[in-house]
Amino acid sequence: MCKQQKPIVDRLSNDPRFAKVAVFRVDFDTNKDLLRKWKVSEQGTLIAFKGAVEKMRSTGDVDPAAVEKIFAASL
């Protein structure tokens, strides 16, 4: 996630509606194997999984409502 996404993700992570959502932060500069595995080519990429299935993806989205949709997709 990028600097602008961080406060949105932090707020949503503390929202009781999303208590079951696990957030994993992957360092773009050091975790190249994971980035390749998940086909992430740009910083600021958010991916929602439900179990092992990818449900939604967004890159560079800083609209709080759009980021909330990503969280909701993983429920």
Domains and CATH numbers, the chain: 6-73 (3.40.30.10)
Spatial neighbors of 26 by CB under 8 A, at least 6 apart, are 34, 35, 40
Confidence of residue 1 (pLDDT cuts 50, 70, 90): confident
- The token duo for 19 is 């208590």
**How many angstroms from the chain centroid is the CA of residue 47?**
5
- The pLDDT of residue 33 is 93
Predicted confidence (pLDDT) per residue in 22-59, tens digit: 999 898 899 999 999 989 999 999 999 999 999 999 99
- The pLDDT of residue 12 is 96
Q: Dihedral (C-alpha) 8, 12, 14, 17: value to the nearest 10 degrees?
A: 170
Coil, helix or strand at residue 10: helix
- The token duo for 63 is 């609209």
Rounded to two decimals, the pTM is: 0.84
